[in-house]
Structure 1
C-alpha cells in the first residue's frame, strides 16, 4: 500500500514538473478580454486577403484580434488601444514599464507636392503630385495597467496629480511650450519684416536679402535646437513618478 502511494506521489510530482517546464518554455502569450492567458512558443498576426485578421499560436490555434487585450511575441509586449482591435496597428508596443508605462504605434503620413501637368495649353502646375510616406511614432501611456491614453500634457496632468515632483516637471514643460511658441511668432515676424525691408530697399528686384530675415530664421530654428539638447519634461515627469517610493 505504501509503495503504491509513494508511486502515485512520484508520478504526480513528475507531471507537475513537466508542465512547469513546458510553461517556462512558452515565453509568449495572448491575454483575452476575459482575462484568460494562452501561452505559446510562437505568435503570429495574419492578415489574409478578403478574410478576417487573426492571431496564430504555434501554427494551430486562432484568435480574432477583437478578443485580445494584450499579447507578447518576439517583437515585444503590446496592449490594445481603445479601438475595435481588428488590425495590428490597433495594438501599441510597450516602450517602458512601471507605474506609468509608455507605449507607441507607428503612423504613416503622406506628403504631397504639387504635380506638373502637360496639356494642350502647355505646362502647368496641378493639384495632383507625388506623395512620399514618412513614419512617426505616436505615444500613449497607461497608469497601473489601465486603459491606454494619448501621451499629452493634459492627460499626464491628471494621471500624475498625486506626485508633486512630476507636477513641477509638467509646469516646466508648459512654460517651455509657451516660450517656444513665442519664439516661433517672433521669428516669423522678423522674417516677414526682413522680406518687406528687402522689397522696399530694392524695388528694381535686387537679390540682397535683409539681415532681419536671417535673424528671424535663427529665432524660429532655436526651439528645434533646444529640443535636441534638453531633456523632455514629459518623460522626466513620468520617470519621477515611477521612481518615487509609495508612502
Structure 2
C-alpha cells in the first residue's frame, strides 16, 4: 500500500483543525453536522448528476484505488519479460504456454497468450494498444467525477452559507447570538473550499497519476511481448526495456528483478 494519499489527507485535515485550535476556537465550532452533510452529501449528489449511475458506482472502487493501491514495480516486469525471452529463445514460443499461467499481470498474461496463438505482430500490436487506449479513456472518466465534485464543492458550501445567513437575518433581535450564528454560517464555505482542495481535486490528481504509471507499465509490456514474439536476443530485450524505466534506476532495478 502506498500511504501518500492517506498521509496527505491526514496532514491537510489536521492543519485546519490545528489552526482552529491555535486561533482560540473550539473544534466543535467547525465540525458542525449541517455544513458537513450539505457539503459532502450535496457535492456527491451533484457529482452523480454529471455522469451515469455506472460512473457513480465506479467512483467507490476508485476511492479505494486512490488510497490503498500501490503502483506495480516495472523493474519486476522487466525481469519477467527477460526470463520469458530467454525461454522462448531457447525452447520456442510455444514453450511459454505453461509459464504464463504463473504470471500475475492479466495484461501481460493475455498478451503473451495472444502471441503464442500465432497472432500477426501488427495485429497483436493493434490489439494491445487498443486495450491501452480503452484503459486511458476509462481512467480519465473515473477521475473526472472527482474533478467535477472539486469544482462543485465550493459553490455548494456557499449555498450552505446563504441558507445559514437567512436564519441569521430572521434573528436580528437577538444581538448576543448574532456573532456565533454568523460564524457558524461561514463553516459551510470553509468545508466547501477545503473539501475541494484537500480531497476531491487531489483524488483526481492521484487517480490520473496512477493511470499514467499503469499505462507506462502496459506500454512496457507491449514492447516486451513484441520483442519476444520476434525472437529477439534476451540481452537486447533487457536493454530495450531498461531504457523505458525511470532514469537512474533502470539498470540496477531491472537486473535485481531478474
TM-score by length of 2: 0.29
More strand by share: 1
Tell me which of the two structures has the higher relative contact order, counting C-alpha pairs closer than 8 angstroms and 6 or more residues apart.
2
TM-score by length of 1: 0.30
Greater C-alpha Rg: 1
More helix by share: 2
